[in-house]
Copies of this chain bind each other. A is one copy, B any other.
C-alpha cells in the first residue's frame, strides 16, 4: 500500500506575513508553500553567506545591461529588469525587516506601491500605468535600495537568532529571487532580441559548432506502478509534494532534445501551414500571430537566423531547438507521428536514466547562455531547456490548500497551463531536480523551452 508514503504537508501558518497577490499577467513566480530544509543545516553565518551570494548573482546577471535596458516592458509577460531587482528586494524588506527588525524604517514609502505585485489593496490612488511606463525610480535608485536592504539584512542575519518561521521566510525569499533570476534572463533576451539593432547581451565565444549529432535514440521504460513526487532531501515546493503512485504503460522516450535541424525540416515540410498538426486553438494562434518559426528566429536573405545572447547568428543545426511554445512542440510531435511525454513519464525516465544533476553543467553561473549540443552518452534531462510535457498542471493526489495566507495561492495556477520539466541553462542549480514542476500557458515561448519526444511503441 503506497499511500502511507505520502508526506504530510508542513504546517503553513508561519506564512502569515505573506499577502502577495501575484497576478498571472505580471509574470511573478508563484510564491509556493515549501518543504524547507534551510533551517536544519544552516548557521547564521552560512545563511548570510547564501543570502549575499544569491543577491549578488542577480546583479551579476544585469551587469551587461545599459540603463535603458532596465526600463522597458515590450509585452505584458516581460517585466523591466529594474522591477525584478526592486521587487525581490522589497520582498526581504516587507517580509523580514519590517515584521522582525525592531525600529526598522521603510526605505521609501512609495516603493511598497511600485515594487509590490499586489495592486488591488492600494486604494490610495489608482494610476493607470504599468511597469514599462515607469522611468523612476531610476536604475541607480534601485541599486541604492538593494544596497540598503542588503546592508540591513546582513546586520539582521548577523545579530539575531532566527526562528524557524524567519528561516523559512528567508528561504522563500531566496528561492523567489532565484526564480526571478531566470525570468530576468528570459526578459533581457526578449528586450534585446526584439530590438531592431539586435544588441548582444554578452560577447562570449560561441561554442565550437558540432558537426554531427547522434541519431535520435529512445529509452524504453516498462509498464508498472511508479512513485511520483518529491522524496529527496532539500528544498521543494508543495506542488511536488504528495508522493503518489502512477501506473504507466510501456513507453519510449527520446534520449536527447530535438535539434534546430530537425525542427527546420518541420518548417520546410510546411508544418506552419498545415492545420492538421495543430490544436484548434494553436491553429488560431499560428494564423493570428502569423507564426512561421520559433520565437527569436528571423529569415534573413533566405537563411534562418536566431537571436542568441551573443546577438544574431545563423541557426546552428545541431543545437537543441528553443523558444517553442507547447503548441509548436505538440505540432512537431504530431508531424513526427509521435507525442510529447507526460510529466510522469518524464520523471520516471529521468529518475531511472539520469538521477544525478551534473554539477558541471553549463548553467548560467558559468556564464554560458545557450543550450548544449547533445553528445554521446548524455541523456540531457537537465539544464539545457525546459521540456514541454503533454500534462496539464493539476494537483497531485492529497494536495490540499493550506490554511495560511501563502497557502491559499498554491493551487491558483492549476488551470489552463502545461507542465515543463528539467530546467534550462538559465535555471539556478537549486531549481534543478527530477520532481520540479514548472508551468506556463501553452502558447508562450519567450522562455527557454525545448522538445523531447515520446511514443508508446
Please report which residues of chain A, range 5-36, place their CB below 8 angstroms from some CB of chain B when the two chains form the complex: 6, 21-24
A139 at the interface (CB under 8 A from B): yes
- A359 to B3: give the CA distance in the assembly, Å: 39
Q: How far is the CA of A134 from the CA of B258 in the complex (A)?
A: 33
- Please indicate which of the listed interface residues A1, A194, A275, A397 has the most CB atoms of chain B within 10 Å of its own CB: A397
Query: A68 near B196 (CB under 8 angstroms)?
Result: no
A196 touching B114, Cβ below 8 Å: yes
Pairs A–B under 8 Å by Cβ, sample size 9: A69-B136, A125-B298, A125-B300, A136-B192, A245-B247, A249-B398, A275-B408, A276-B408, A330-B415
Residues of B within 8 A of A317 (CB): none
Q: Which of A292-327 contact B (CB under 8 A)?
A: 298, 300, 326-327
Report the separation of the CA atoms of residues A135 and B132 in the bound assembly, to the nearest whole angstrom: 11
Partner of A223, one of B2, B68, B82: B2
At the interface with chain B, which of A169-177, A279-287, A374-382?
A279-287
Instruction: List the one stretch of A70-78, A99-107, A207-215 in contact with chain B.
Output: A70-78
Given contacts A246-B247, A250-B3, contact A281 B24 (CB under 8 A): yes
Residues A117-144 near B (CB distance < 8 A): 125, 127-129, 132-139
Give Cα A197 to B86, complex, Å: 15
Please report the C-alpha to C-alpha distance between residue A139 and residue B456 in the assembled complex, in whole angstroms: 50
Contact B194 A278 (CB under 8 A): no
- B197, A110: Cβ atoms under 8 Å? yes
Distance from A277 Cβ to chain B, minimum over Cβ atoms (Å): 9
CB-CB under 8 A from A136, the residues of chain B are: 66, 68-69, 192, 195, 197, 199
Across-interface contacts of A401 in B (CB, < 8 A): 276, 334
The one of B223, B246, B280 in contact with A3, judged by C-beta atoms closer than 8 angstroms, is B223
Distance in angstroms from A167 CB to nearest chain B CB is 26
Contacts of A408 in B (CB 8 A): 275-276
A412 within 8 A of B: yes
In Å, the complex CA distance between A125 and B70 comes to 25
**Oligomeric state, in number of copies?**
4
Across-interface contacts of A267 in B (CB, < 8 A) = none
B281 and A416 contacting across the interface, CB-CB below 8 Å? yes
Contact A194 B67 (CB under 8 A): no
Q: Are B196 and A133 in contact (CB under 8 A)?
A: no
Contacts of A196 in B (CB 8 A): 110, 113-114, 127, 129, 134
The answer for the CA separation of A326 and B21 in the assembled complex, in Å, is 22
* Shortest beta-carbon distance from A68 to chain B in Å: 4
A38-46, A52-60, A157-165, A386-394: which lies at the interface: A386-394
**A1, B398: Cα distance in complex, Å:** 28
Shortest Cβ distance from residue A381 to the other chain B in the assembled complex, whole angstroms: 22
Q: Known contacts A247-B247, A249-B3, A415-B281: does B398 contact A394 (CB below 8 Å)? A: no
* CB contact under 8 A between A72 and B133, given known A249-B244, A249-B245: yes
Contact size class for A? Answer: 35 or more
Contact present for B72 and A456 (CB under 8 Å): no
In the complex, which residues of chain B have a beta carbon less than 8 angstroms from the beta carbon of A1?
Answer: 223
What separation, in Å, do the CA atoms of A82 and B68 have in the docked complex? 11
Q: Chain B residues with Cβ under 8 A from A251's Cβ?
A: 397
| Most chain B CB atoms below 10 A, which of A68, A110, A195, A247 | A68
A191: CB under 8 A from chain B? yes
Q: Is A414 interfacial (CB-CB < 8 Å)?
A: yes
Task: Return the contact of A392 from the options B3, B195, B394 (Cβ within 8 A).
Answer: B394
The answer to whether A280 touches B413 (Cβ under 8 A) is yes
Nearest residue, chain B, Cβ from A197: B136
Provide the residues of chain B in CB contact with A67, threshold 8 Å.
67-68, 138-139
The verdict on A225 contacting chain B, using a C-beta distance below 8 Å, is yes
The residue of chain B having its C-beta at the shortest distance from the C-beta of A301 within the complex is B124
Q: Are A132 and B132 in contact (CB under 8 A)?
A: yes
Please, which residues of chain B bring their CB within 8 A of the CB of A412? 278-280, 283
For A114, A280, A283, A408, the residue with the greatest tally of chain B CB atoms inside 10 Å of its CB is A280
Query: B residues within 8 A CB of A418?
Result: 415
Is the CB of A434 closer than 8 A to any CB of chain B? no
A71 is contacted by which of B68, B246, B413 (Cβ under 8 Å)?
B68
Q: Is A413 in contact with B135, judged by CB distance below 8 angstroms?
A: no
Q: Establish whether residues B195 and A135, one from each chain, have CB atoms under 8 Å apart when the complex forms.
A: yes
